[in-house]
Amino acid sequence: MKIAVEGCCHGELDKIYETIEYLEQKEGVKVDLLLCCGDFQAVRNEGDLKCMAVPAKYRTMQTFYKYYSGEKKAPVFTIFIGGNHEASNHLQELPYGGWVAPNIYYLGYAGVIRYKGIRIGGLSGIFKSRDYRKGHHEFPPYNPETLRSAYHIRNIEVFKLKQIQMPIDIFMSHDWPRGIYYYGSTKELLRKKKFLRQEVESNSLGSPAAEELLAHLQPNYWFSAHLHVKFAAIMQHLPKGKSAPRVTKFLSLDKCLPHREFLQIVDIPERPGSSEGLEYDPEWLAILKATNTLQRTTPHPWNPPENNGLHERWDFSASEAAMMQVVEDLSGELGIPDNFSPTVPSYNPNKPHRQATPSYNTNPQTTELCAKLGLTDIYAQVGRGEDEVARVQGSTGGEDDEDEDSLGSTDEPSEYPTDTSGLSGSFNPDEITIEDEWEEEEELKAEVKADELFDAKAAHAQFGADGAGQGSGDDEDVTAARILKRTSIESGDAGSRGPTPRIKRRNQVIYTAAEDDECEG
């Protein structure tokens, strides 16, 4: 099965699908599945834009709304996780995952599903130690604080994922597992991103929670994004008990822009006899049922149960009986129902509604799943004000704030026992200041020539015939296979970039979309 892996999407669905189509025609292949590693930006309308942590002047509608409204349908089945630039009110409707549009599936705060027999898991958001121990208490309209904390990873999600005992084929996180940079070409990474040196040398770059999950899950593949750089690594884990040691092939990709390594094809062996569609994972659903009473919707710190004599139960892994019960709850049907339905009006470019306010809606998909399995719809619960949620909600803010959460690490003292991220205060000129991303896009718009032909120079890269990477994990070794990127010309010395990079590129018609000029407000 050929799987396209995308780094940061940033709402550029039209461009991503067009690039995949170009690749399929050029290479004579058929892509079965697209995985997007966060910053998906499933923005349905102007109200959703106000729930996304970017300065107001850079909030643009992009192209997702076309797929939500039914104007277009995703030509490639798509699965994604959330990052740190999302329409949080939309994704919060689906805490356990669900369809955001026909053929586009969100994995939820954390989730595991099966597609054609391949077991795919993911963790949405980024790690921030100050919010890690809190419940999912955020609710629109967000204030400047909750606008950002809404997409911060919580320990309950990591605790659930650590109950998994069965092998995972693919796992996705937005930010990197801490320490993964030691298993690839660290030298090449620091050549591309010199400002990461302090964090890499102090082992404070990335998420300690994801690092813990990597050691526990040991998936065959782990895909990430966030740092806007392509990086490959191969990590051999210590053996668990009498089991043979497992190997994880790690790949992080860039954001969707010309001349950026944002998309790569991975060839994973198919599983003969497997279902053709998307299926629930019985072990994961059994874990959701077992941990349902542990969920919190307050901002008060909470620690999961441990085997320390203070808790009656600390092991919430799924027994065979629990998994069989899940199958019975679903009447023996593990196929995920194709039950997408819009919950808010879609953006209409002919009738813009710039004064729209953020909406709160429960989602019938979540309601249905909760009814079948006896789960709590935590978004509905926080919306009803249950658990005595202590929050002071103002209007959605943060319009003029710099997006500190774009950092690859955190900068505050942590309750996380292994967090050393406070050691670093490095500056990432390509990621920290959100204005930079949108200024790059504005320069692209200014230079577009509608009659210029798309001449993307690359194709797909594979880790090898069996999906394996080069033995050294060297990024250039993987690049030597065939990397899909769109061409451009960057001016200036990459090593001399100031805090606000000024990037000039040659543009292609494939990167131009009609809405570019419609949605600049």
Averaged over 44-65, what is the pLDDT?
Answer: 91
| CB hemisphere CA count around 397 (13 angstroms) | 9
Using CA atoms, how far apart are residues 140 and 150, in angstroms rounded to an integer? 10
Distance (Å, rounded) from C-alpha 449 to C-alpha 441? 14
Q: Express as a percent the part of the chain with pLDDT over 90.
A: 66
pLDDT number for residue 453: 34
**pLDDT at 20 (0 to 100):** 97
Provide CB contacts within 8 A for 148, sequence distance 6+: 53, 84, 398, 403, 404, 405
Q: Which of 111, 99, 98 is nearest to 158 (CA)?
A: 111
Which of these, 67, 1, 66, 83, lies nearest to 34 by C-alpha position?
Answer: 1
Angle (CA) 161-163-168 rounded to 5° is 60
Say what the pLDDT of residue 56 is.
Answer: 76
pLDDT of residue 92: 98
Write down the pLDDT at residue 270: 84
422 found inside a domain = no
Q: What are phi and psi of 44, to 5 degrees?
A: -90, -35
Give residue-wise pLDDT tens across range 446-481.
Answer: 433 333 333 333 334 444 434 433 333 333 333 333
pLDDT confidence band for 383 (50 / 70 / 90): confident
In a domain, 481, yes or no: no
The lowest-confidence range among 47-56, 170-179, 411-420 is 411-420
CA–CA separation, 269 vs 521, rounded Å? 46
pLDDT at 386 (0 to 100): 61
- Residue 308 pLDDT > 50: yes
**At a CB cut-off of 8 Å and minimum separation 6, what does 55 contact?**
398, 399, 400, 401, 403, 434, 435, 438
Pairing of strands 263-267, 2-6: antiparallel
**Per-residue pLDDT, 310:** 87
Lowest mean pLDDT among 50-54, 306-310, 324-328, 387-391: 387-391
3-class state of residue 114 by DSSP: strand
Tell me which residue has tokens 């697209």.
34
Comparing C-alpha atoms, which of 227, 188, 209, 194 is closest to residue 83? 227
What is the reported pLDDT for 411?
34
CA angle 279, 250, 211 (to 5 degrees): 90
Q: Which of 101-110, 384-393, 479-488 has the lowest mean pLDDT?
A: 479-488
- C-alpha to C-alpha distance for 66 and 137, rounded to whole angstroms: 30
Range of the domain at 167: 2-390
404 within domain boundaries: no
Distance CA 187, CA 134 (A): 37
Q: How far is CA 228 from CA 12, 407, 487, in A?
A: 15, 11, 17
Q: Which residues of 98-130 are buried (b: 16+ CB within 10 A; e: fewer)?
A: bbbbebbbbbbbbbbbbbbbbbbbbbbbbbbbe
The vertex-463 CA angle with 111 and 177, nearest 5°, equals 45
pLDDT greater at residue 483 or residue 374:
374
For the segment 229-254, what is each residue's pLDDT rounded down to a tens digit?
Answer: 999 999 999 988 888 899 999 999 99
User: Whole-angstrom Cα distance, residue 244 to residue 218?
Assistant: 12
Query: Mean of the pLDDT values across residues 190-198?
Result: 95
Strand pairing of 104-106 and 263-267? Answer: unpaired
Separation of alpha carbons 134 and 302, rounded Å: 6
- Residue 362 binned pLDDT confidence (cut-offs 50, 70, 90): very high
Task: Identify the pLDDT of residue 59.
Answer: 85
Residue at 266 is within a domain: yes
Q: Which strands make up the sheet holding 231-236, listed edge to edge?
A: 231-236, 247-252, 221-224, 170-173, 118-123, 110-115, 278-280
330 in a structural domain: yes
Q: Is the pLDDT of residue 294 over 50?
A: yes
Confidence band (pLDDT; 50, 70, 90) for 57? confident
**DSSP per-residue letters across 146-172:** HHHHTTB--HHHHHHHTT--S--SEEE
| Cα gap 406→64, rounded to integer Å | 22
Say if residue 423's pLDDT is above 80. Answer: no
Q: Provide the pairing of β-strand 110-115 with 278-280.
A: antiparallel
pLDDT of residue 125: 98
* Pairwise CA distance, residues 91 & 97, whole Å: 8
Amino acid at 212: E
Phi, psi of 214 (to 5 degrees): -60, -40
Q: Which of 159 and 272 is assigned the larger pLDDT?
A: 159
How far is residue 204's CA from residue 202's CA, in Å, rounded to a whole number? 5
What whole-number distance in Å separates Cα of residue 95 and Cα of residue 68?
Answer: 18
CB burial of residue 439 (10 Å; 0-12, 13-18, 19+): middle
Q: What is the pTM of this model?
A: 0.79
Q: What pLDDT, in 10s, does the model give residues 74-119?
A: 999 999 999 999 999 999 999 999 999 999 999 999 999 999 999 9
What's the whole-number mean pLDDT along residues 512-520?
A: 32
Query: Does some domain include residue 177?
Result: yes
Residue 495 lies in a domain: no
pLDDT number for residue 233: 98
CA dihedral sign, ordered 443, 444, 450, 455: positive
pLDDT of residue 276: 86
For the chain, the domain total comes to 1
CB 222, CB 216: distance < 8 Å: no
Residue 498 lies in a domain: no
**35 contacts 120 by C-beta, under 8 angstroms:** yes
More confident call, 480 vs 324: 324
* pLDDT of 434 higher than 70: no
pLDDT of 256 over the 60 cut: yes
Plot region of 348 (φ>0 → left; ψ -120 to 50 → alpha; else → beta): beta
> What is the average pLDDT score of the chain?
80
**Is the model's pLDDT at 138 over the cut of 80?**
yes
